[in-house]
């Protein structure tokens, strides 16, 4: 089960896509925020400690409501069962920006500097989003090496897959090696961490054919 840590990557607003691109452009258009935003980006580049943990598990079955993998372990989502049930393998992955940036945000909030905390938090969210792009590339290369395709990612915490699934993903990946744990609530710690599952196979729904947002009932409320 591979774990990648402290690899080189770029925190670059110009690489943001979709809703992220629109959100950042609105921030940059406000000249009063520009100096603070530039400072937050510079600080984020020093504070982020990127990590990716993933593992490949066989898909052994589906009962329509759950995807069965890894010696009978279940991923409790009817959407996963529907989309991934015919694939031979699934990749479980977790990626993180590490703990330092969110600690700095907490320090700024404790000092009452809420604007700086707000902007640095946005920079951290951008950072973890771009760590995720690195993770996507790793999984795409893995799929290509196997002669198959990688599906769209599906995340715990959406309307079809409860956040409690993070306990399974933490257990079945080397999450501890990149410093990520699941709290009792199912939230990941550090909080700038994201988990997901991707199916590997010849006939899977790929990102050019669809999106995980298509299967989430609250997609219109998501800022990311």
pLDDT in tens, 130-189: 999 999 999 999 999 999 999 999 999 988 899 999 999 999 999 999 999 999 999 999
pLDDT of residue 207: 83
CA dist., res. 83 & res. 10, Å (int): 32
Please give the helix or strand (H or E) that residue 58 lies within, else none.
Answer: strand 51-62
The residues that bridge with 150 in the sheet, in sequence order, are: 200
Mean pLDDT of the chain: 88
pLDDT value at 93 more than 70: yes
Percentage of residues in the chain having pLDDT higher than 90: 68
pLDDT value at 28 more than 60: no
Average pLDDT over residues 5-33: 67
Lowest pLDDT segment from 21-35, 116-130, 198-212? 21-35
| Contact between residue 66 and residue 165 where contact means Cβ atoms under 8 Å apart | no
Global pTM? Answer: 0.89
pLDDT of residue 120: 93
Identify which of 148, 145, 156, 140 has the alpha carbon closest to the alpha carbon of residue 207: 140
pLDDT digits (tens, 9 = 90+) for 45-57: 999 999 999 999 9
φ/ψ (deg, to 5) at 118: -60, -50
φ/ψ (deg, to 5) at 31: -60, -30
Average pLDDT over residues 12-41: 68
pLDDT of residue 173: 96
**Structural domains present in the chain:** 3-207 (3.40.109.40)
pLDDT value at 32 more than 80: no
The total of other beta-carbon atoms located within 10 Å of residue 151's CB is: 26
Average pLDDT over residues 196-212: 85
pLDDT value at 221 more than 60: no
pLDDT value at 210 more than 70: no
pLDDT digits (tens, 9 = 90+) for 56-90: 999 999 888 899 998 789 999 999 999 999 999 99
pLDDT of residue 209: 74
Identify which of 209, 200, 121, 195 has the alpha carbon closest to the alpha carbon of residue 158: 195
pLDDT value at 112 more than 80: yes
Average pLDDT over residues 92-105: 97
- 70 to 55, 59, 92, 139: CA distances (angstroms): 10, 7, 11, 19
């Amino acid at each position: 089960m591979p774990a990648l840590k402290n690899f080189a990557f770029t925190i670059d607003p110009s690489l943001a896509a979709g809703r992220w691109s629109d959100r950042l452009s609105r921030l940059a258009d406000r000249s009063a925020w520009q100096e603070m935003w530039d400072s937050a980006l510079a600080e984020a580049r020093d504070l982020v400690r990127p990590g990716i943990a993933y593992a490949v598990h066989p898909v052994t079955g589906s009962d329509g409501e759950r995807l069965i993998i890894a010696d009978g372990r279940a991923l409790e989502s009817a959407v996963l069962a529907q989309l991934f049930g015919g694939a031979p393998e699934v990749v479980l992955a977790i990626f993180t920006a590490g703990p330092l940036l969110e600690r700095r945000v907490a320090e700024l909030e404790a000092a009452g500097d809420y604007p700086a905390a707000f902007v640095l938090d946005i920079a951290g969210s951008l950072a973890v989003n771009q760590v995720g792009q690195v993770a996507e590339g790793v999984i795409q290369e893995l799929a290509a090496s196997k002669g198959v395709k990688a599906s769209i990612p599906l995340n715990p915490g959406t309307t079809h897959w409860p956040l409690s699934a993070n306990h399974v993903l933490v257990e079945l990946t080397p999450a501890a090696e990149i410093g990520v744990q699941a709290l009792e609530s199912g939230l990941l710690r550090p909080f700038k961490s994201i988990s997901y599952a991707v199916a590997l196979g010849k006939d899977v729904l790929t990102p050019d054919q669809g999106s995980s947002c298509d299967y989430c009932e609250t997609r219109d409320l998501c800022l990311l």
